[in-house]
Amino acid sequence: MPDYDKEGLVSAWSFDGAGGARRIGWEDILSGPPSGGGFDWINLQQLEHRHGHNWLADGSGIDPSILESLAAAETRPRCALFDNGAFLNLRGINLMPYSLPDEMHSIRFWVEPHRIVSVRRRALSAVGDFEDAIHRGRAPRTPGEFVADLSMRLVDRMDTVITALAEQADELEEQVLSATLSNLSPKVSEVRRVAIILRRYIAPQREALNHFSLEDAEWLSPRDRNRLREAADRVTRFAEELDSVRDRAAVIYDQMVERRAEQMNRSMLVLAAVTVIFAPLTLITGFMGMNVEGIPGAQDPNGFWAVTFFAGMLGVGLVAWLRMVRWL
């Protein structure tokens, strides 16, 4: 069963600004955000087909242009700053069961001084862990700390997958000279494909986090800005690591091509040597096998053995000559 109601509400929290938090429902949401130093977080599921009234479009009070960004089908990570808040679109790697390592799902935030509205398309394990931390009493005190904490959790998931991808590239480099090429080629292609897909979304996320850290708001403390910059720096390192994995995969593929060409050249060399050895023998035996009169030794009982001995010595001589010229 889905983990959201008919309005798409996944979960909602009210933070008191002092490290405490409690779950809230629609009654608290409709009464408006808290006053003072607290703020609310409303986490929504993007529904494909909405009918009639829904809170996000009709009751949230969010500008229609921002609502369009929150509900966009596919967007790259980005940040847009407004007078009354900030829009932030981030992507995270999902470590939930049955999810692929190259699946990066987006979560969009509209951040105001006393309210955060997030919209997801699919569940993210980082958001689930974030809510578990809130349950354990580790709640953010400001919207800036909220975004910084969740951004770091998204980055931590990237670290796990990218480290595993780099280790897989290390193993392929060790196997390229010994493994069967038919078994190695799909693995190299998969590593390169995953690296390209992850790089496509991770690189813009750095700019989004850096841009958000420049927000001139009281709820974004210097500590929150530093953590956002730290997350952006880690994303930069991940992008460089993915570039390295992609380049290493290309080098491995080139080594495979060279190894395959070397095997082909060796096979062609052996085939050419066999042709050089057996072509004269085939010519001689073809002449001696003609069914016409006048063939030398046709009446001699030792003629067959003489031809066989001559052909054998010729073959040995050709092999010795090929070895001398280093064909074999």
Residue 13 has pLDDT above 80, yes or no: yes
The pTM of this model reads: 0.71
Q: Give Cβ neighbours of residue 110 (< 8 Å, ≥ 6 apart).
A: 62, 66, 70, 85, 86, 87, 116, 117, 118
Q: List the alpha helices (DSSP H) in 1-139.
A: 26-30, 55-58, 64-70, 125-135
The pLDDT of residue 38 is: 85
Over residues 96-105, the mean pLDDT reads: 60
Over residues 213-240, the mean pLDDT reads: 83
Q: At what angle do helices 143-175 and 181-213 cross, to 10 degrees?
A: 160
Residue 161 has pLDDT above 50, yes or no: yes
The pLDDT of residue 181 is: 65
The pLDDT of residue 117 is: 92
Residue 98 has pLDDT above 50, yes or no: no
User: Quick one: which of 323, 172, 326 has its CA closest to 259?
Assistant: 172
Q: Give Cβ neighbours of residue 15 (< 8 Å, ≥ 6 apart).
A: 21, 38, 39, 40, 41, 139, 140, 141, 146
Question: Domains of the chain by range and CATH?
Answer: 9-258 (3.30.460.20), 264-324 (1.20.58.340)
**Residue 255 burial (10 A CB sphere; 0-12, 13-18, 19+):** middle
Which tokens in the block code for residue 33? 């955000």
Distances (CA, A) of 55 to 31, 49, 128, 299: 12, 14, 23, 110
Residue with tokens 């390209």: 196
Residue 13's Cβ-side half-sphere holds a number of Cα atoms within 13 Å equal to 26
The pLDDT of residue 227 is: 84
- Higher pLDDT: 16 or 299? It is 16
Q: Give Cβ neighbours of residue 17 (< 8 Å, ≥ 6 apart).
A: 36, 37, 38, 39, 141, 142
pLDDT category of residue 52 using cuts at 50, 70 and 90:
very low
φ, ψ for residue 79, nearest 5 deg: -140, 135
For the ranges 43-57, 173-187, 206-220, 283-297, the one whose mean pLDDT is highest: 206-220
Whole-angstrom Cα distance, residue 196 to residue 146? 30
Which tokens in the block code for residue 65? 């242009």
**Residue 18 burial (10 A CB sphere; 0-12, 13-18, 19+):** exposed
Q: What percent of the chain has pLDDT over 70?
A: 89
pLDDT category of residue 95 using cuts at 50, 70 and 90:
low
Q: What is the DSSP letter of 1?
A: -
User: Quick one: which of 132, 167, 170 has its CA closest to 149?
Assistant: 132
Q: State how far Cα 291 lies from the chain centre.
A: 71
Are the beta carbons of 200 and 279 closer than 8 angstroms?
no
